[in-house]
């Protein structure tokens, strides 16, 4: 007769049980789901945007599209008067060109007309026989440029990211209706003659099946996909068939009940006969009679039948495993940090998104029209209405969106599509805060950042190096990065052949202070000298010279929509927008690193990754390494 009183195997410790689980080879499947069903799951692949967000330069306020220069003299008691030439609702591509002295009514979100470079808010105007403007605006004020939020070709979400409300919003913003997620399918089987499904009549001696539903909810919260099987009786044959079916359709199996060493508890015997029992009994209370094993080729966890014990074992051992596989984050917590920069209140209660890095809270602000503001934040700080200003270095309470991953390196600076490829090659956890080249240098100077990405062109024609002295940075080096092809962006059917041709067509310029703008002006000065005319006279004769775009994508968008005939930008955005590119120069995108970190393990890995691009197959179009890539330039 079979021994029905078999004792527990040797009890394993908590650490031993976790070690056994850690060595189990559990691989999730990949499934495609619509975004409305994707919340709570982890991405199985990077999400690359096929479009710019916004896809065109648009008004961010209701008002009037104008030339900013026309409003500079406007005062409340001495308004500027402009001729109204039309009205632009949202959702159309306007066939309007705004000349000096003109304005067009424009709705929030509407496409900016060609010629206009700012929007005057409606409350700062009055309508009579003409438009009266009572307050001046600066170039780009109340305008959100194409690609300001997301640039076509940019990785907006990384593989392993858990999808929540913010991430689903980003997927919708870039037009993704379906995504690939890690689909860890978890089969759940409760055992016991006494179990009845909730909603059914409860006869004498019966209890409702609690574990199937509580464990199912836990699996879903951890990012897995639960599959509930009907509860099975304490019958060896029924249990074995239920396990076999679950093994055929699921990645892992969770059972509850029949795990002890009593005469009616046979789960460990079935697992042993059809696989391997890796552990039977854990030195933990409650939850001692637990099983870890392999059955019919699939990992199986036998949870105790008592609900409290079952949930204890699930939360302590199984939930972390599922979260690790699916990438699911834990619940929010609160923490304290120091504010990295001064923040001024808006005169009302504010929830300010921040990124947390090594105890510093770095405000994430892209404006109310940007969907990526929250996705880049770790949490938020609450600013009361009575607070006018919070100084840099002041302690703040941060409510977290979830667990924070401690980065190997902190990158602050100008984002580039090539950075994604570099991070992947380095295989480091690099936290990226996009704050522009100047913001990166400030972060290096203040000791916050480990690496800054910069591409600032000095009027001398030298990239980046002169700016370290200008920003008062002494103890850092410039590591030469890669080249980005700069050139003319024009439509495919354009007759433009070279840079000098742009003085005769409608152009869209880059914003003052950008490296591209400096390079453009240097070339225009060469032309003015060759023609023997002042630079100011040459640029005044150019249509659109004073129309500024904040991004390369905004330049491409204006040309694609017919708002301009030419502009200067990088090859990457030209190709992504289906436009023609005429190369005129190479821009140098470099990295600034504190000297004290040069010999650190993480920086050495980063530098090896940078120098490993041979050839530059992993870089996006228009970006390439060259003979100076990885060279360290020390500033005297």
**What does R_g of the chain's alpha carbons equal in angstroms?**
31
Q: pLDDT class for 264, splitting at 50, 70, 90? A: very low
- 319-331: pLDDT as tens digits: 889 988 877 666 6
- 390-436: pLDDT as tens digits: 888 889 998 887 677 778 888 988 878 788 888 888 888 888 887 77
Judged against a pLDDT cut of 50, whether residue 170 lies above it is answered with yes
User: Which residue in 394, 393, 451, 401 sits closest to 426, CA to CA?
Assistant: 451
Judged against a pLDDT cut of 70, whether residue 346 lies above it is answered with no
- 19-41: pLDDT as tens digits: 999 999 887 788 888 999 888 77
Task: Give SS3 for 556.
Answer: helix
Return the pLDDT at 433: 80
Return the pLDDT at 155: 92
Domains in the chain and their CATH numbers?
14-28+184-326 (3.40.980.10), 33-51+153-181 (3.90.105.10), 58-144 (2.170.190.11), 334-406 (2.40.340.10), 419-634 (3.40.190.290)
CA distance 22 to 101: 71
Dihedral, 405, 171, 364, 445 alpha carbons, nearest 10: 70
Give the least confident one: 169-173, 287-291, 480-484, 555-559.
287-291
Return the pLDDT at 4: 36
CA distance 173 to 243: 43
Mean pLDDT of the residues in the chain = 86
3-state secondary structure string, 577-615?
CCCEEEEEEEEEEEEEEEHHHCCCHHHHHHHHHHHCCCC
Q: pLDDT class for 220, splitting at 50, 70, 90? A: confident
Q: If you ran DSSP here, which 8-state letter would residue 13 be given? A: P
Can you tell me which residue has the tokens 């795990």?
Answer: 259
2-21 mean pLDDT: 69
Which position has the higher pLDDT, 352 or 443? 443
Judged against a pLDDT cut of 90, whether residue 552 lies above it is answered with no
293 contacts 267 by C-beta, under 8 angstroms: no
- 121-158: pLDDT as tens digits: 999 999 999 999 999 999 999 999 998 888 889 999 99
Return the pLDDT at 196: 86
Give the least confident one: 26-30, 81-85, 186-190.
26-30
Structure tokens at 266: 């046979």
Which position has the higher pLDDT, 25 or 294? 294
Q: pLDDT class for 385, splitting at 50, 70, 90? A: low
368-397 mean pLDDT: 73
Phi-psi region of 91 (alpha: psi -120 to 50; beta: other; left: phi over 0): left
Q: pLDDT class for 598, splitting at 50, 70, 90? A: very high
């Amino acid at each position: 007769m079979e021994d029905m009183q078999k004792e527990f195997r040797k009890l394993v410790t908590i650490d031993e049980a976790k070690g056994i689980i850690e060595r189990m080879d559990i691989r999730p499947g990949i499934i495609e789901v619509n975004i409305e069903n994707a919340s709570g799951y982890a991405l199985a692949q990077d999400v690359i945007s096929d479009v710019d967000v916004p896809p065109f330069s648009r008004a961010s306020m209701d008002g009037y599209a104008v030339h900013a220069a026309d409003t500079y003299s406007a005062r409340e008691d001495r308004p500027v008067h402009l001729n109204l030439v039309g009205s632009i609702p949202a959702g159309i591509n306007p066939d309007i060109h705004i000349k000096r002295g003109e304005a067009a009514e424009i709705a929030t979100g509407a496409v900016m007309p060609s010629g206009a470079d700012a929007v005057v808010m409606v409350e700062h105007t009055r309508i009579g026989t003409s438009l009266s403007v009572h307050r001046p605006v600066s170039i780009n004020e109340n305008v959100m440029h194409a690609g300001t939020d997301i640039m076509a070709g940019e990785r907006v979400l990384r593989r392993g990211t858990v999808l929540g409300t913010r991430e689903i919003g980003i997927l919708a913003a870039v037009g993704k209706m379906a995504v690939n997620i890690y689909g860890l399918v978890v089969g759940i089987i409760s055992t016991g003659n006494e179990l009845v499904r909730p909603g059914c009549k409860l006869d004498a001696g019966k209890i409702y099946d609690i574990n199937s539903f509580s464990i199912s909810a836990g699996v879903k919260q951890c990012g897995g996909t639960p599959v509930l099987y009907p509860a099975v009786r304490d019958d060896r044959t029924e249990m074995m068939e239920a396990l076999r079916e679950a093994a055929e359709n699921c990645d892992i199996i969770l059972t509850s009940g029949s795990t002890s060493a009593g005469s009616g508890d046979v789960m460990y015997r079935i697992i042993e006969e059809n696989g391997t029992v890796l552990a039977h009994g854990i030195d933990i209370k409650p939850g001692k009679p637990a099983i870890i094993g392999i059955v019919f080729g699939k990992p199986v966890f036998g949870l105790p039948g008592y609900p409290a014990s079952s949930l204890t074992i699930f939360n302590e051992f199984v939930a972390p495993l599922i979260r690790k596989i699916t990438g699911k984050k834990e619940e929010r917590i609160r923490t304290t940090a120091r504010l990295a920069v001064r923040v001024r209140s808006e005169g009302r209660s504010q929830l300010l998104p921040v990124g947390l890095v090594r105890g510093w809270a770095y405000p994430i602000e892209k404006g109310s029209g940007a969907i990526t503001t929250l996705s880049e934040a770790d949490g938020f700080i609450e600013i009361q209405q009575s607070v006018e200003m919070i100084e840099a270095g002041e302690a703040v309470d941060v409510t977290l969106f979830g667990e924070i991953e401690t980065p190997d390196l902190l990158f602050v600076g100008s984002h580039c599509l090539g950075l994604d490829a570099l991070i992947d090659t380095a295989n480091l956890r690099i936290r990226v805060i996009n704050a522009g080249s100047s913001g990166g240098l400030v972060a290096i100077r203040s000791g916050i950042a480990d690496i800054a990405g910069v591409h600032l062109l000095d009027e001398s024609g030298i990239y980046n190096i002169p700016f370290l002295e200008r920003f008062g940075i002494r103890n850092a080096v410039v590591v030469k990065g890669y080249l980005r092809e700069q050139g003319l962006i024009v439509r495919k059917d354009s007759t433009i052949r070279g840079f000098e041709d742009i003085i005769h067509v409608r152009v869209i310029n880059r914003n003052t202070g950008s490296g591209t703008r400096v390079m453009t002006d240097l070339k225009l000065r060469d032309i003015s000298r060759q023609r023997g005319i002042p630079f100011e006279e040459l640029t005044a004769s150019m249509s659109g010279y004073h129309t500024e775009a904040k991004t390369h994508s905004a330049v491409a968008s204006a040309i694609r929509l017919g708002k301009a005939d030419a502009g200067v930008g990088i090859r990457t955005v030209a190709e992504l927008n289906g436009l023609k590119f005429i190369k005129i120069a190479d821009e140098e995108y470099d990295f600034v690193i504190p000297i004290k970190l040069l010999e650190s393990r993480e920086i050495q890995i980063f530098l090896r990754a940078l120098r490993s691009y041979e050839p530059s197959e992993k870089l996006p179009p228009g970006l390439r390494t060259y003979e100076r890539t990885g060279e360290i330039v020390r500033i005297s």
